[in-house]
Amino acid sequence: MAIEKTESFESKKEETAEVIGSKLSRYFGISPEEADEQQMYQAVVMSVRDVLAGYNKELIAKTKQQSSKQVFYLCMEFLMGRTLKLNLNNLGLEDVYRDYLSQYGFSLDAIYEREPDPGLGNGGLGRLAACFMDALASQDYPGKGFSILYEYGLFKQRIVDGEQMELPDIWLPDGGECWLVPRQDKKVTVNFGGTVREEWRENHLEIIQEGCTVVEAIPYDMFISGAGTRTVNTLRLWKATDPDTFDMQAFSQGQYVKAMEDRAMASAISKVLYPADNHHEGKLLRLSQQYFLVSASLQNILGNHLAQYKTLKNLPDKVAIHINDTHPALAIPELMRILMDQHHFSWDEAWDITVHTISYTNHTVLPEALEVWNENLFALKLPRIHMIVKEINERFCREAWNCNVGDWNKVGRMAILDHGMVHMANLSVIGSHHINGVSELHSDILKKTIFRDYYDMYPRRFCNVTNGIAHRKWLCYSNPSLAALLDETIGTGYRKNPEELEKFSAYSEDASILQRLEDIKRRNKHDFAGYIKETKGVLIDPDSIFDVQAKRMHEYKRQLMNALHIIDWYLRLKENPDMDVRPKTFLFAAKAAPGYYFAKDVIRLICYIGAEIEKDPAIRKKMRVVFLENYNVTLAEHLIPAADISEQISLAGKEASGTGNMKFMINGAVTIGTLDGANVEMAELLGRDNIFIFGHTAQEVEELWRKGYSSSDYYNRNPRLKRAVDALQPGFNGRSFADIGKYLLYSVGISDPFMCLADFDFFSEAHERVRAAYEDRGRWNRMALQNIAKAGFFAADRCIRQYAENIWHIKPVE
């Protein structure tokens, strides 16, 4: 597209040239003509950072001046992905930079490729936090994210002979650092271990913590731009270091290692992100990370509040603190600690402030993901926090007893401390004014199952906010051709107001628009094929159907059921190689937690099926199975606009919401999915003609469990399923997968715990429907169009407005 060079364009370009020129000269002592691509990348980032810093300063001043209430979003993960393209687009400066760079022979797209993909998150939870930051800024809400500056983000995945290898993700020196502004002036200290002594002093109880290990927390700020606004928020990332208390005595006595030890212990806290998703490990370092994040953030929030208002009494009027899942739940006792120990509030006053300040989102009901800590270790690491949690627990149990006299079991179930364990979800519910799930179904399940007892006691605390995605990032910026078609047909209003996507429905009978949609998809598929050929050396046929399942590898997400269907299809093709079918490419992308043996076995299975098919030229023409390594935000941005079919096939009741489902939908992929998480709401909005729903519902799953689920019944009844499962024994490409067969049929305990076999038949049948629909090009394109048109609801903008209005009670700054 030709760039329109207006007067303002030229003046912005001049400014840009000046700033970049001065960065290059200051940091590298060179001129733009002398810069290499990496130096230019860094200068570009620093120049953008400067623009954002200026706007951020304005916002801080405005927020102060208007005494606006702010939200502070505490989360152990922010899966930001690259941000240069996003920032330039949000600021409306992409063309300016493109033009400037071309003058010196640089391509902006190549500069984009220089940016590392900061993987400070595992999956859904972390990416949601990143989408929320975008929506807050874009709608002028004053809000700040808090997390940890992990030196190593989520591991990089390499697949070698079907095996997942984990490599360290060294993102900071690799070009990530230049986004960050260190704020030494805002550093705080966090105490661990030691003992607690109480002493009466001038009519208050003084709490003295002694013999603690002190860790310094230094904030590094990343700026968060909004689209078409000057609102720029911050994401504050804490780095842990030792507070220069080098043990000189130990050192001079020859105990060199001991002298270094404390230093190493302190910085270990922000070294790595735990790579387990939806699985609690109970590791003490993880508990330290959680307290470190919470304590540093609260000190910062309260310090600023006090400086402005000189009191903490009005905290809930000016501050909303949100805990994203239970990982930052220690914010509850930590806030109590600061209010009581440092500001001498009474228990009741402090508790009132705490509960009115904190809110909590639950993101999972999987029992293995719910955090519990061994109480003894907890007390050792956080003695003062333990005392406070004990007191919260005692007072709560008394209240619960009064509401449920005689029902010890119920009170026991709801207690925070039980059988030597600390239950973080219970703490979170007890200390929050609102608790929400992330889809209608999930919020319902919370009220009926894991939080049922609390729902009886505090019905008004529970609500639902269905997740949403940053639609500009996932549609406008990653699928520019589709965005251009939308701009042309429905105008550009949807970029700011995603609900306006609905207007696209009016074109559902317009043959020329439907054809253009098809053309855009085809082009995206070609682009994607080119991209993965270049970046991963993988060849795929862009004219085949792209059937995609991209998400963390987990049993409940049932990549295995997808694999079983693929095996069945492969065996049918082998039997009948002349079958007249349109070629299909099954694409998988997924990281498995390094210690999750079964998930890694499923990766292996998918790769080995793929490899066996590659050896058979007749089959390879009709179906291929490709595992794309190192799924991250950048790969998702390329892959999703190219997908025809989106696989959202978790066992109903297990996927809290899903957000990948929304990203595929808004890019015109058609979903094949179970009635789980937000799929339910997608189906309601789309109507059953525009989505392929299959399988047992959450309620039916429950009934099946109650009746006694037997996977072998399904296996014995269905010859095609039997044949697919049996094929695991001899296996693929020379490797047996008998263990997976055993898991499905003969496990000690429960076989096939996620009911792959129970849904297999429905799934195959749904795939048949998909195939037929795809052959009717007009119908398929109409479905794609409806998916795009109905996706506005799933924008993070809507979602954040609901949080702002119903939970946080914050307003946009003027």
Residues marked active site are found at 363, 551-552, 557, 659, 663
Using the minimum distance from each CB to ligand 26W, give the nearer residue, 438 or 446: 438
Among 262, 375, 644, 655, binds ligand 26W (CB under 6 A): 655
Answer for which of 234, 432, 657, 667 binds ligand 26W (CB under 6 A) is: 657
Residues 436-455 that bind ligand 26W (CB under 6 A): 438
Q: Applying CB under 6 A, which of residues 85, 280, 558, 696 lies at the interface with ligand 26W?
A: 280
CA distance 728 to 724: 7
Biggest CA–CA distance in the chain, Å, is 91
Token representation of residue 763: 């799934």
Q: Which residues pair with 195 in a beta bridge?
A: 210
- In the list 123, 175, 328, 468, the residue contacting ligand 26W (rule: CB under 6 A) is 123
Sign of the torsion formed by the C-alpha atoms of 183, 184, 188 and 191: positive
Considering only residues 290, 659, 667, 679, which one is a binding residue for ligand 26W as defined by CB under 6 A? Answer: 659
Q: Figure out which of the listed residues 128, 350, 446, 810 binds ligand 26W, where binding follows CB under 6 A.
A: 128
- Looking up tokens 């807050």 gives 136
Residue-level length of the chain: 814
Q: Residue 418 CA to chain centroid, in angstroms?
A: 31
Q: Is the dihedral of CA 58, 61, 67, 70 positive or negative?
A: positive
- Candidates 63, 68, 278, 478; binder of ligand 26W (CB under 6 A) is 278
Give the neighbor-by-neighbor strand order of the sheet with 645-648: 623-628, 584-589, 545-550, 645-648, 670-673, 692-693
Using the rule CB under 6 A, give the single segment among 211-219, 271-279, 714-722, 757-765 that binds ligand 26W: 271-279
**Neighbouring-strand partners of residue 200:** 205
Which C-beta is closer to ligand 26W: that of 166 or that of 352? Answer: 166
Q: How far is the CB of 170 from ligand 26W (least distance, A)?
A: 23
Q: Which of 60, 181, 285, 369 binds ligand 26W (CB under 6 A)?
A: 369
Name the residue nearer to ligand 26W (CB basis): 76 or 338.
76
SS3 category, 549: strand
Report d(CA 440, CA 466) in Å as an integer.
7
Tell which one of 139, 229, 364, 393 touches ligand 26W (CB under 6 A): 364
The region of 216-224, 228-236, 364-372, 425-433 touching ligand 26W under the rule CB under 6 A is 364-372
Q: How far apart are CA 274 and CA 276, in angstroms?
A: 6
| Distance in Å, CB of 656 to ligand 26W, minimum | 4
Which is closer to ligand 26W, CB of 152 or CB of 528? 152
- Taking each continuous run of H as one helix and of E as one strand, the counts in the chain are 35, 23
Give the Cα separation of 395 and 399 in Å (integer).
Answer: 6
Determine which helix (DSSP H) or strand (DSSP E) holds 373, and give its type and residue range: strand 372-374
Piece of the chain touching ligand 26W by CB under 6 A; list 116-124, 294-302, 469-477, 735-743: 116-124
Using rule CB under 6 A, residue 115 touches ligand 26W: no
Task: State the minimum distance, in angstroms, from the CB of residue 113 to ligand 26W.
Answer: 28
Shorter beta-carbon distance to ligand 26W: residue 279 or 390: 279
Token digits of residue 134: 């975008």
- Closer Cβ to ligand 26W, 653 or 677, answer by number: 677
Pairing of strands 358-361, 319-324: parallel
Half-sphere CA count of 5, side-chain side, radius 13 A: 9
Q: Which of residues 485-514 bind ligand 26W (CB under 6 A)?
A: none
For residue 144, CA distances in Å to 19, 37, 183, 231, 280 come to: 27, 33, 15, 12, 27
Among 299, 304, 466, 467, binds ligand 26W (CB under 6 A): 467
Determine how many CB atoms are found less than 10 A away from the CB of residue 519. 13
Question: Considering beta carbons, is residue 657 or 674 the nearer one to ligand 26W?
Answer: 657
Closest to ligand 26W by CB, 498 vs 653, is: 653
Query: Binders of ligand 26W among 756-785, rule CB under 6 A?
Result: none
Minimal distance, residue 365 CB to ligand 26W, in Å: 9
User: Under the phi-then-psi rule, with left for phi > 0, alpha for psi from -120 to 50, and beta for the rest, what region is 372?
Assistant: beta
**Which residues contact residue 799 at a Cβ distance below 8 angstroms, ignoring those fewer than 6 apart?**
132, 135, 465, 466, 467, 468
* 491 φ/ψ sector (left φ>0, alpha ψ -120 to 50, else beta): left
Distance (Å, whole) CA 246 – CA 623:
62
- CB of 412 or CB of 595, closer to ligand 26W: 595
Residues paired with residue 208 on neighbouring β-strands, in sequence order: 197
Q: For 655, how many CA atoms within 13 A lie in the half-sphere containing its CB?
A: 32
- The residue range among 121-129, 193-201, 380-388, 601-609 that interacts with ligand 26W, by the rule CB under 6 A, is 121-129
Q: How far is the CB of 366 from ligand 26W (least distance, A)?
A: 8
The answer to whether 755 and 709 are in contact (CB under 8 A) is: yes
Q: Which is nearer to ligand 26W, 90 or 122 (CB)?
A: 122
Number of residues near ligand 26W (by CB under 6 A): 23
Task: Using CB under 6 A, pick the residue from 677, 695, 731, 792 that binds ligand 26W.
Answer: 677
Which residue from 151, 169, 334, 371 is in contact with ligand 26W, where contact means CB under 6 A?
A: 371
Cβ at position 134, least distance to ligand 26W in Å: 15
Q: Which residue is nearest to ligand 26W (CB)?
A: 124
**What residues from 281 to 340 belong to the interface with ligand 26W (CB under 6 A)?**
325
Cα separation of 99 and 86, whole Å?
Answer: 17
The single residue among 658, 673, 731, 792 that binds ligand 26W, judged by CB under 6 A, is: 658
Per-residue contact string for residues 615-654; x = within reach of ligand 26W by CB under 6 A: ----------------------------------------
Q: Name the burial class of residue 271, with classes exposed (0-12), middle (13-18) and buried (19+) by CB atoms within 10 angstroms of its CB.
A: middle
Distance between CA atoms of residues 149 and 442, nearest Å: 31
For strands 70-74 and 143-148, give the pairing. parallel
Specify the 3-state DSSP secondary structure of 780.
Answer: helix
> Taking CB under 6 A as the rule, does residue 656 contact ligand 26W?
yes
Q: Which is nearer to ligand 26W, 232 or 450 (CB)?
A: 450
| Minimum separation from the CB atom of position 246 to ligand 26W (A) | 34
Least separation in angstroms between residue 466's CB and ligand 26W is 10
Closest CA to 543 of 526, 559, 561: 526
CB 649, min distance to ligand 26W, A = 13
Shortest approach of ligand 26W to residue 294 CB, angstroms?
15
Among 125, 358, 414, 425, binds ligand 26W (CB under 6 A): 125
Give the nearer residue to ligand 26W in terms of CB position, either 677 or 731: 677
Provide the minimum distance between the beta carbon of 676 and ligand 26W in the complex, in angstroms, as a whole number.
9
C-alpha to C-alpha distance for 175 and 191, rounded to whole angstroms: 32
CB of 460 to ligand 26W, least distance (A): 22
Q: Write down the least CB distance from residue 371 to ligand 26W, Å.
A: 5
What angle in degrees, to the nearest 10, is found between the helix axes of 756-775 and 777-789? Answer: 110
Q: Which of 407, 359, 486, 405 is nearest to 809 (CA)?
A: 359
Q: What is the dihedral of CA 265, 270, 272, 273, to 10 degrees?
A: 130
Closer Cβ to ligand 26W, 437 or 498, answer by number = 437
Binding footprint of ligand 26W on the chain (CB under 6 A): 122-125, 128, 276-280, 325, 363-364, 369, 371, 438, 467, 655-659, 677
